[in-house]
Amino acid sequence: MLWRYASRPKSPLAPLFQRGKASCAARWGDVYLEQNGDNKHHATPFEKGGLRGIFLLILLILLFSSHYATASPPCQPLPEIQQRLGQFARGWHSKLAMETGYAPPARYTVCQLKSGLPFADHRLKRIYIRGLASEDDEITLAHEYLHLAFSHHPRGHDEVFIEALARRLVGVP
Residues that bind Zn ion (CB under 5 A): 159
Residue 56 or 164 with smaller CB distance to Zn ion: 164
CB of 144 to Zn ion, least distance (A): 7
Q: How far apart are CA 26 and CA 75, in angstroms?
A: 61
Residue nearest to Zn ion (CB): 159
Residue 33 or 163 with smaller CB distance to Zn ion: 163
CB of 157 to Zn ion, least distance (A): 9
CB of 29 to Zn ion, least distance (A): 60
CB of 149 to Zn ion, least distance (A): 12
C-alpha 168, offset from chain centre: 32
Phi, psi of 93 (to 5 degrees): -50, -50
Partners of 120 in the β-ladder: 127
Residue 33 or 130 with smaller CB distance to Zn ion: 130
Q: How far apart are CA 120 and CA 108, in angstroms?
A: 10
Instruction: Kindly give, in sequence order, each residue whose CB lies less than 8 Å from that of residue 102, ignoring residues fewer than 6 positions away.
Output: 96, 149, 150, 153
Pure H helices in the chain:
2-6, 14-35, 45-70, 79-96, 135-149, 159-170
Residue 11 or 159 with smaller CB distance to Zn ion: 159
CB of 49 to Zn ion, least distance (A): 45
Residue 68 or 159 with smaller CB distance to Zn ion: 159
Q: How far apart are CA 124 and CA 82, in angstroms?
A: 15
